[in-house]
Structure 1
């Protein structure tokens, strides 16, 4: 009886699959007939006016041939086209699909059917979308088919499921730049119904805020979260005197070096060393499975697997067409939104022209779709731990504002991605616990340049008595998506137009990381003291400290070891810093410890500059061209969140606060041990004096 049941089940699945294939073929045939009747350059009949039966047969053959070619030839084309930049691959989708349709029409032995090349592109796109929608609709009520379809689209390797009941897996989803209060506001407004359900009357998750380090940006936070150490990462970008080089967190070569240092410091590969996958991140976290990971994007040859996720996603032509169409729609949406903001003379506002609409569309559509598809594949393959970063909100909030309607729409779409992954978890070979977290928040406010008519670099040059050029180059945005696009295009990530950003000369190097500025003097090979700076440029420190757009400075001191300077001669030794007083007044709890820790870093700049902060409005002044920024102290940028299932232990004991990315790493390690068992290695004992979680 058991054999009979298994056989019947197998035949039932075969019959179901055949039925779906026939239904998709029939719908595709009808779609082709309709398009032939609408489009003048698309013909399914010969010159002598064939009968309706002949036309229908031609359409059926063409639809069937197109479907077979899409299934067999398309994956091979995509694999070959991985030799070209990934973003170019997305733009080639329409033309490749059209070529397959022309080939399908050419294969018709009757010789009927032809289309102009541009018409073939449109017909192929519509037919792929219709076939995908039909196949998806027919599998909604068939759990086995639904799971097999997702598995096939994600193109993950099949792996044997362990005997018995496997331990739960864990998926960590990072919503880049979404602050704790922004998430709560979105839930209250009904923008994120999935998260609202997790936190509702019968909650399944708990929401915990945590506090970032002084460097409140993805490079420092994600390095600490994935590798357990973000020591000596003072900002998003900084100058290293011993190497004569500018480090930029989202440059592939810098990310690889930061990861190497963290592994060397901790003696541990990272959070994902046990059967892990890293998707869309700056760092690998010790995972064997990598896709769209920036720290490996600089490698050549087989070692570079950062773009592997593109093949997994674009190997399905319907997927590719849908994403390409969404990409075009997002570009149009951004152009419309920026035009409306300009016509309304909205303030604050930054430039959103040039390539930005395409960068935004890449972050909010292509990167999101590819990463979500990769995570789906990891879940259906039963991987133990997955960590993925979705950068969509962060990119839009930088240019539209963290509380803007544009950014809120992105949160709605991210919530739909969470809902999809929660649905996929029901079909995975093991239970999954979904943890959602952010690496930092964003603080609103106009730019330093917009308010005062000059940039930080100009102010520094003026304080040094150096000439200030009339036309100053704009500072580069620190948005993570920009480097991801460059990596996808296989273009080097440049800094200030330099291919190899090595710095020489005696003029100050001024770098910006959100509302955190760094000033270094490259001709002095050690970190300069306050006394040395005063001797060299007597007006510089007072010019900076007394400027209304600057909150405080950190400099080294021969007398005190380190000192924080503020307006009107305020001066407090680092050892005596107290939250809420002196130059740190208003910057909130933990500011003093954050400044003290950064002061100990070997590559802290000669002068660390934190912008002005308004506690009442939560606003800062970015030294970059961003109206939603992060990178320094002040406001929501330093208050991200951790959303975890109640099945996992509480992140911290009641009354305690979760402080720093390194402590978050230890919490996530503990959760992996609770889920996957003691084979998960313990977190390295590296806390820079902080109390372990």
Structure 2
């Protein structure tokens, strides 16, 4: 071994490793002794009692046996249970760990070690946490030990990186739903919520906003970023008349079909096709290494490696225990925060009961931990490009609001993840450039139903002269974590039957889609006026509607607003007040592009937007929403290292996910062309 250019004698390395093992063993033994004194159903003595020396000896034997079983048996158990749903595996952690402890206690001579099953689970969790904390503390105080511990996490994959050492790799970390302005607020002040990112924005990195397409949601943005094309993706979900089917972008079959179409259009595998890894995303980007990727989650063959990330993470019992404890703590945190919001009569507010606390915990704990571990493994393996999505903020902001204090803990947690990944970069076999970005922001506001007492579907039915239910139905949220958790549980996809003669009304945040299934192709304005003469006026003049897009036989694409206002997109003629004016520069181009899509709905309805408050009205149960035009949802960010060329020329706004894809492609080419000198530490890794 070398340190600062001087070779470390082998006996020092060996003695240091032995001392660390003994220290962990000692802490584990002391933990057993303390727990035996505190817990009535746990003892380390024979029935007749023992001396302190015998009790300490029994604790040492129990701790040693538990450590060996955890190291040898636990990985085998996790691999055997890899097909068990991820959430179930997380809940089994306590039972499995407790079982290993009971087995270890049985190995103590004289039947001195005994514990009730429920107590064994508590003791095992405490021991795993104590040993992990001790090992980590000792490792990080010794750079060489810390480096070797990280290399062991990567396993044999590190060998493939030797030939690429010195050429920078790229890590793209997507902070789902985090808008540019929210990030700026979280990185400013004396005590910023995101201290690590704050340091980057003031030094090594540069922050720039970019503008989304009309469909400001993960499906459209990430497909464009990873595969270079989000053509014909009008919303989060939409109805296709020719097949009488709904396409939902965050479901496995929907994501797989969208990825197939994008690859067919571009003729290219994707951003990550060359030695890349995709972690926690909707789409693979052509990566050979995938984990928690929705577009491959539906596969049930040997080519589905999406769940491999679970084994890599849960094979460490300390990781499994920590995640399980954090999962339960997050469930409790959500329940407390929800009750606090209700008791304080905060508005706007949506229901947060049922399974939501568990869905939130899955997004903010399980997905986060597994994705971080996968990214670290990719970096230690020296992969050329890694793209990972963290959905925690997006999930919480949907139900609490994008600027609510409930999101602060999530932002701090994400910042710690970023700091850990950056720290690991000091020990990888090649240097890495880390880019942070988001796929969209979120705009606040009461839901359309809460604000006006009826849903968009009710309003459409009223405009068509159809009966309206007395009690308005709620549109469930389409947040990414819901389908990710469903896939992790091996649950079948949710089904929505679209057929029928009546209009189909779908929601994508504050963007609504209305389709008439009995009319082939897009129905025209003139045909709608003949069939439902009150519909367009009912929608355009409603105070909760900002504008709607319809196709005219005479004028082509037409945007309708209140009081007879029109914006004829083909000719550029505006009648009355421009309905798109409140939505800012670029709104007309975004709507015009969507109008050309083959599967654009008969009517595309965008909610009203208040430029003063930034509020919109989601057509589904979200008080922080995205999916249409209006406010912060259309203003995500790109935080890039100064070594890379700027995304655009000075004064030019980066517009559309496809343009972001081209920028990331350029940065990958720049990294491939760069060659950095190797540090002494990296040179040592190459020789291993």
TM-score in terms of structure 2 length = 0.95
Task: Give the Å deviation of 1:9.
Answer: 3.6
- CA distance in 2 between partners of 1:42 and 1:408 (Å): 39
- CA distance in 1 between partners of 2:182 and 2:156 (Å): 34
- CA distance in 1 between partners of 2:222 and 2:10 (Å): 46
Query: Which residue of structure 2 lines up, in the alignment, with residue 602 of structure 1?
Result: 598
Query: Which residue of structure 1 lines up, in the alignment, with residue 193 of structure 2?
Result: 191
Query: Which residue of structure 2 lines up, in the alignment, with residue 644 of structure 1?
Result: 640
Q: Structure 1, residues 418-463: CA drift from partner, whole Å, max 9, x if none?
A: 1111111011111000000000000000000001100000111111
Query: Which residue of structure 1 lines up, in the alignment, with residue 534 of structure 2?
Result: 539
The change in CA–CA distance for 1:12 and 1:340 in structure 2 (over 3 A counts) is: same
The change in CA–CA distance for 1:42 and 1:154 in structure 2 (over 3 A counts) is: farther
Q: Structure 1, residues 101-157: CA drift from partner, whole Å, max 9, x if none?
A: 000011223332110000000000000000000001111122222123234446673
Task: Give the Å deviation of 1:572.
Answer: 2.2
The runs of 5 or more residues in structure 1 that have no matched partner are 680-693
- CA distance in 1 between partners of 2:520 and 2:77 (Å): 53
Q: 1:663 aligned to 2:665? A: no
Higher mean C-alpha displacement, 602-611 vs 142-151:
142-151
Task: Give the Å deviation of 1:589.
Answer: 1.0
Query: Which residue of structure 1 lines up, in the alignment, with residue 34 of structure 2?
Result: 34
Q: Aligned to 2:159, what secondary structure does the other structure show?
A: coil
Query: Which residue of structure 2 lines up, in the alignment, with residue 549 of structure 1?
Result: 544
Q: Aligned to 1:505, what secondary structure does the other structure show?
A: coil
Q: Aligned to 1:425, what secondary structure does the other structure show?
A: helix
Query: Which residue of structure 2 lines up, in the alignment, with residue 688 of structure 1?
Result: none
Query: Which residue of structure 2 lines up, in the alignment, with residue 654 of structure 1?
Result: 650
Q: Is the 8 A contact 1:587 1:613 kept in 2?
A: yes
Give the alignment of 1:85-484 within 5 angstroms: 85-153=85-153, 157-163=157-163, 165-189=165-189, 190-200=192-202, 203-484=203-484
Q: Structure 1, residues 228-254: CA drift from partner, whole Å, max 9, x if none?
A: 000000000100111111111111100
Query: Which residue of structure 2 lines up, in the alignment, with residue 43 of structure 1?
Result: 43
Task: Give the Å deviation of 1:56.
Answer: 1.4
Q: Is the 8 A contact 1:155 1:312 kept in 2?
A: no
Task: Give the Å deviation of 1:642.
Answer: 0.3
Q: Aligned to 1:213, what secondary structure does the other structure show?
A: coil
- CA distance in 1 between partners of 2:162 and 2:119 (Å): 50
Higher mean C-alpha displacement, 474-483 vs 120-129:
474-483
Q: Is the 8 A contact 1:154 1:312 kept in 2?
A: no
Give the alignment of 1:10-29 within 5 angstroms: 10-29=10-29
Higher mean C-alpha displacement, 42-51 vs 25-34:
42-51
- CA distance in 1 between partners of 2:590 and 2:160 (Å): 47
Task: Give the Å deviation of 1:329.
Answer: 1.0
1:528 to 502, 523, 526: 523
In the comparison of the two structures, how many residue pairs are matched? 670
Q: 1:564 aligned to 2:559? A: yes
The change in CA–CA distance for 1:42 and 1:18 in structure 2 (over 3 A counts) is: same
The change in CA–CA distance for 1:8 and 1:659 in structure 2 (over 3 A counts) is: closer
Q: Aligned to 2:427, what secondary structure does the other structure show?
A: coil
Task: Give the Å deviation of 1:15.
Answer: 1.8
Task: Give the Å deviation of 1:53.
Answer: 1.9
Task: Give the Å deviation of 1:163.
Answer: 4.4
Higher mean C-alpha displacement, 34-43 vs 220-229:
34-43
Higher mean C-alpha displacement, 265-274 vs 578-587:
578-587
- CA distance in 2 between partners of 1:160 and 1:558 (Å): 60
RMSD: 1.8
The change in CA–CA distance for 1:164 and 1:635 in structure 2 (over 3 A counts) is: closer
Q: 1:584 aligned to 2:594? A: no
Q: Structure 1, residues 363-402: CA drift from partner, whole Å, max 9, x if none?
A: 1111111101110111111111000000010001000000
- CA distance in 2 between partners of 1:671 and 1:110 (Å): 65
- CA distance in 2 between partners of 1:164 and 1:543 (Å): 62
Higher mean C-alpha displacement, 600-609 vs 323-332:
323-332
Task: Give the Å deviation of 1:409.
Answer: 2.1
Q: Aligned to 2:458, what secondary structure does the other structure show?
A: helix
Query: Which residue of structure 2 lines up, in the alignment, with residue 683 of structure 1?
Result: none
TM-score in terms of structure 1 length = 0.94
